[in-house]
Structure 1
Amino acid sequence: MNIQASVVIPAFNEQERIEHTLKTLKEQSWVQEIITVNDGSSDATGEICEKYSDVTVHFKSNHGKGQALKAGWEKANGLYIVSLDADIGSTASEGKKLLTPLTYPFIDVVIGTLPPSKKRGFGFVKRKAQNVIYKKTGKWVTSPLSGQRAFHRKWLPALLNKNYNGFGIELAMTIDLINAGAQIVEVDTNITHRHTGKNLSGFLHRGKQWLHIEAALRGG
């Protein structure tokens, strides 16, 4: 079955990595269109997006991942929508693995799990997200913060109607979709991107994630 999708990629100051990601996607037969959202970047991200994307949305200032994804979803024409991170390079080809389960009528959303990395942090933000999802939905999600996702466009109205902000979007959309009746599955992929390690920048990033998760739980 020749299944294709709209691919949405939010990007903020990703000039060092996004070109490789977009070049890879241009070569994929499963990619119907590439939609990038330049989220107020101060580097050459916007120019790179324009060069390789079918549609590019530009924000003058940084709005955060949640708003960037929603802006990209609004432009999507495909029956299926795949959201990928900007920094995954050649492993963007693995996005096809997210699409295959959607050919089954009882699957609505697919989350891609990433291979383990020694560079990752201690996992406390991930565990918090897992526990929150379980408490609110009764479902256990292995990779609640994964940005590699695919879903049927019939779920777009439910997502676009929400106020998703920052890094809390993955947690919030998972809860919203499950509670709306969507059937979610996870698939293993070999997608890799830069990881925040056990250093100052890593701790700052995870602290920001934590704050965004707390904001998502408050609904804004």
Structure 2
Amino acid sequence: MIKQSFIIPAYNEESYLEKTLLAIQRFTERAEIIVIDDGSQDNTKLIAERYADKLITFPENMGKGFALQAGWKEARGDIIICLDADLGESAEEIGALIEALEREEADLVISVMKPGKRAGFGLVKRRVQAMIYRKTGVKLASPLSGQRVFRRKWLPVLLEKDYKRFGVEAQMTLDLLRAGATCQEMVTRMTHREMGKNIRGFLHRLKQWLEIERQLREAQ
């Protein structure tokens, strides 16, 4: 019987994916690993084939929201675990979130990462924090975190939506809270690739901002 489903969307993550998948091996005795290769042009697919129980491949990049929903549709576990592909060895910290969910402390458990030295200014995050608080009264430290676990019973809420690229975490958090789910955040030592305070980083965050705004506007 499958107890847990790891859902890992990946786009050109050959530098990190293997370490991420190796880090979660100790949790996979009664679990399945589902990797969504979202139109990668590197060796992401080849790496995923070595470790994933199921590999979903898109010929072109469809976006994180689309990839996650594809993984959710295939998940068989009672506990759904969403992970970014670039966590590397720090992915093993997901164990704390799984344990909290199993203790039924909340319906949704989200990882709070400590900001790295190359982190941005947090404008997008603060925008989403304010929006979620205004609509639900819930204050969250990391509403954009891709590291989160929830029970299968909440999948119908998420699968009836049309999530876009980087807007998925913000909107799924809002949708679950509105549906009555309780949320807990946990500080972890997870780390992932940071874009930095440079032109590339600013462009990445601008794209993220625009996609989140589009997602929230369409969900009104």
TM-score past 0.5 threshold:
yes
The 10-residue stretch of structure 1 (114-123 or 171-180) with the greater mean CA deviation from structure 2: 114-123
Q: Which residue of 1 aligns with 2:142?
A: 143
Aligned pairs for 1:31-180 within 5 A:
32-105=31-104, 107-180=106-179
Q: Distance in 2 between matches of 1:30 and 1:154?
A: 22
Q: 1:74-133 CA distances to partner (integer Å, 9 max, x unpaired)?
A: 111111011000000111111111111212445110010012311101111111110111
**Matched residue count:** 218
Q: Give, as a single letter, the amino acid of the residue that structure 2 aligns with 1:66.
A: G
Question: Partner amino acid for 2:9?
Answer: P
* CA–CA separation in structure 2 for the residues paired with 1:24 and 1:71: 23
The alpha carbon displacement at 1:25 in A equals 1.7
TM-score (normalised: structure 1):
0.95
TM-score scaled by length of structure 2: 0.95
Question: Which ranges of structure 2 fall in alignment gaps of 5 or more residues?
Answer: none
**Matched residue of 1:27: which SS?**
helix
Structure 1: unaligned runs, 5 residues or longer: none
Q: Is the 1:196–1:202 contact (alpha carbons within 8 Å) kept by the matching residues of 2?
A: yes
Distance 2:90 2:152 in 1: 24
CA contact (8 A) 1:5 1:81 kept: yes
Question: Alpha carbons of 1:31 and 1:197: their partners in 2 closer, same or farther (altered >3 Å)?
Answer: farther
Distance, in Å, in 2 between the alignment partners of 1:219 and 1:189 is: 32
1:219 Cα shift? 2.1
- Is contact 1:144–1:171 with CA below 8 Å preserved after alignment? yes
Please tell me whether the aligned partners of residues 6 and 31 of structure 2 are also in contact (alpha carbons under 8 angstroms): yes
CA distance in 1, matches of 2:57, 2:119: 31
Match of 1:166, SS? coil
CA distance in 1, matches of 2:173, 2:94: 19
Which residue identity does 1:127 align to in structure 2? R
Which one-letter code corresponds to 2:163 in the other structure?
Y
CA RMSD of superposed structures (Å)? 1.5
Q: Matched residues in 2 for 1:214 and 1:106: separation?
A: 31
Aligned residue type for 2:143: P
